[in-house]
Amino acid sequence: MIRPLARGIGARLGLVLLAASLAGCRTAGGPPTIAPILLFNGAGSSPGDVDAMETVLRKERLDYSKADSSQLNRLSEAEIQAFRLLIVPGGNFVKLGKGLTPGATARIRNAIQGGSSYLGICAGAFLAGNSPYNGLNLTAGARFNFYSDEARGIRKEPVAIRTAAGETIEVYWEDGPELTGWGSVVARYPDGTPAVVEGTVGSGWVVLSGVHPEAPESWRRGMPFQTPVDASNAYAAKLIRSALKRESLAH
């Protein structure tokens, strides 16, 4: 026999579980909620970099949704264009491309050419180029190589980029591209090659970064950074707002 109190608790628990179940049915695998920004968190994206981007977005009070590979694969061109900005973070650009269908990359490209914006960080910048792994080719055929320190066996390090406005910013770099061959140069690596570029694609606006200004303090552990992480993160926010508002940075 269930005592009245236990029955009440059980009934309330059942309602909570039912509500959670119904909510899960409505949202699991469904289309992302429309917001100004769509942050990709699918196959090939780094969970740590997705978290880092979310931290910057929340700090800047920018509204966003997230989409995994299966969700992005199902979005129509019009649904992609409903978001003002698509952010593709760092990770593995081979897996990024292979996780998307050719139809999805075509729809993304068309949505950006039609007026949406794109921000690609590291792997997201590789994906934006003419990558052989189902790249977006937002770059008129330009394909990006790794920054020169990769050939020296360096996989991650502090890098002092120099902006076209004359500012030096120390940022985290890990297996990122140098962006020769497309767009206007916003910032350069120490060897003079482009680290951040921007440009129009049809009616759309694209910002690409080979470095990780959004990287949190924890990523810097054991590395000889000389400047605080806040300056780097502020630059990440600047890139996001430039892409979102289609505002050109100094170049």
Residue 251 confidence class, pLDDT cut points 50, 70, 90: confident
106-126 pLDDT per residue, tens: 999 999 999 999 999 999 999
pLDDT at 162: 97
Mean pLDDT for 206-231 is: 97
Candidates 96, 116, 105; CA nearest to 49 is: 96
Q: Give kind and range of the element (H or E) at residue 180.
A: none
Residues 6 or more apart whose Cβ sits within 8 Å of residue 132:
143
Task: Give the DSSP letter of residue 187.
Answer: E
pLDDT at 49: 98
180-195 pLDDT per residue, tens: 999 999 999 999 999 9
Does domain 34-245 bear CATH number 3.40.50.11740? no
Q: Is the pTM of this model over 0.75?
A: yes
Residues 6 or more apart whose Cβ sits within 8 Å of residue 41:
47, 50, 66, 67, 68, 89
Give, in degrees to the nearest 5, the angle at Cα 74 between 70 and 79: 125
Task: Give the DSSP letter of residue 32.
Answer: P
Residue 29 confidence class, pLDDT cut points 50, 70, 90: low
Give domain limits for the chain.
1-30, 34-245
39-73 pLDDT per residue, tens: 999 999 999 999 999 999 999 999 999 999 999 99
Percentage of the chain exceeding pLDDT 70: 88
